[in-house]
Homo-oligomer: A and B are copies of this chain.
């Protein structure tokens, strides 16, 4: 059973542990916010579970720069180009999005690219920053190669996510946050641990052939792009993953394809992850009230449309995550025993007090 813990305390704990590793408090607070918000939304795969192995140990071992000098490479009324100086991905992406929101308030639209960054967690968190400003937010990032292109057999593309957030009125906002692979690699690992076969189309073996055997996917094989094999549209998922890399990697000047190194400790250089962020000020395009009303109508028409036999609910992108967040804000964030032990160990090593 996972213990349920208070989100604010968890957020502070993440920040304290990063500060203990040499990260400035302002940056550490942003990482704490992003990882805890991700846990609140139920995306544990990208939350505090990743703190030690994706971020903290990397900082301690000198693989991530704890005190980067983020450089503005270029800037205009509707664009921004940042070099993250190999710092943590969350603070630089968060601040890039903040600046996009400020600029879009003036110019209607702003896009930011970030190069020389690191894994920034869940893309949706940055897209959602737009919501309270009556804006739409978009966030893309490239990532370590895990996905096989259509007709290939090597992991060349990341799971390169696409996130878009749009505010509604009385309904919940629309928040799409999806990897461009069919499933994340962690899902395959879960099946392996259970000794089960995965559904057809999730992954391929070392020959590039679809397989349901998680061992063959994880060892020498890889994930299939959204759509699965070519016949069922996998070339579209492959195209989307590539599109995200063109925006996040090529346009930013970061690494591309399997030049993006994994957020692990055995890597041979900087991960050089690239991000692409965008803010669209709704009021430049339509009166905000009208937009919100139309979004409400959009959500309701989807939700109220007839259900498939055997189904009683049509979900809107982000809806499940909002419901999870409501529950977890009230009842605490579940901390699974492995993550709890990991965090307790970090507290022990650094002298940070265990807050729960």
Chain A residues within 8 Å of B, Cβ to Cβ: 74, 76-79, 81, 107-111, 113, 136, 148-154, 156, 162, 164, 166, 174, 176, 178, 182-183, 199-202, 204, 207-209, 226-228, 231-233, 235-237, 239-240, 242-243, 245-247, 249-253, 256-258, 280, 282, 284-286, 290-291, 294-295, 297-298, 301-302, 305-309, 311, 313-317
Contacts and interface: CB of A to CB of B under 8 A. Distances in A.
Contacts of A228: 227-228, 232-233
Contact of A302 (B156, B231, B280): B156
Contacts of A76: 107-108, 284
A286 B274 CA distance: 13
Contacts of A284: 74, 76, 79, 81
A55 to B, nearest CB: 27
A140 B343 CA distance: 45
B232 A232 contact: yes
B154 A285 contact: no
Contacts of A245: 298
A79 to B, nearest CB: 4
Contacts of A74: 284-285
Contact of A152 (B152, B252, B308): B308
A200 B136 CA distance: 36
Contacts of A308: 148, 151-153, 204, 207-209
A79 B166 contact: no
Contact of A107 (B107, B204, B243): B107
The listed residue with most B CB atoms (<10 A of its CB), out of A152, A202, A301, is A152
B207 A309 contact: yes
B246 A166 contact: yes
A76 B77 CA distance: 11
Given A182-B227, A183-B233, A209-B308, 10 more contacts: A77-B78, A78-B110, A109-B109, A151-B314, A151-B315, A164-B247, A166-B251, A200-B232, A242-B298, A256-B301
Contact of A253 (B152, B202, B286, B297): B286
A43 B298 CA distance: 31
B314 A149 contact: yes
Shortest beta-carbon contacts, A-B, top 4: A208-B308, A79-B108, A151-B311, A78-B78
A250 B173 CA distance: 13
A269 to B, nearest CB: 17
Contacts of A298: 242, 245-246, 249-250, 256-257
The listed residue with most B CB atoms (<10 A of its CB), out of A227, A257, A290, A316, is A227
17 contacts: A74-B285, A76-B107, A79-B108, A153-B307, A154-B305, A164-B246, A174-B243, A176-B243, A182-B232, A209-B308, A226-B236, A227-B233, A233-B237, A242-B298, A246-B295, A250-B298, A253-B290
A113 B176 contact: no
A294 B110 contact: no
A14 B67 CA distance: 62
A105 to B, nearest CB: 12
A280 B301 contact: no
The listed residue with most B CB atoms (<10 A of its CB), out of A79, A209, A246, is A246
A166 B250 contact: yes
Contact of A285 (B77, B110, B227, B251): B251
A233 B153 contact: no
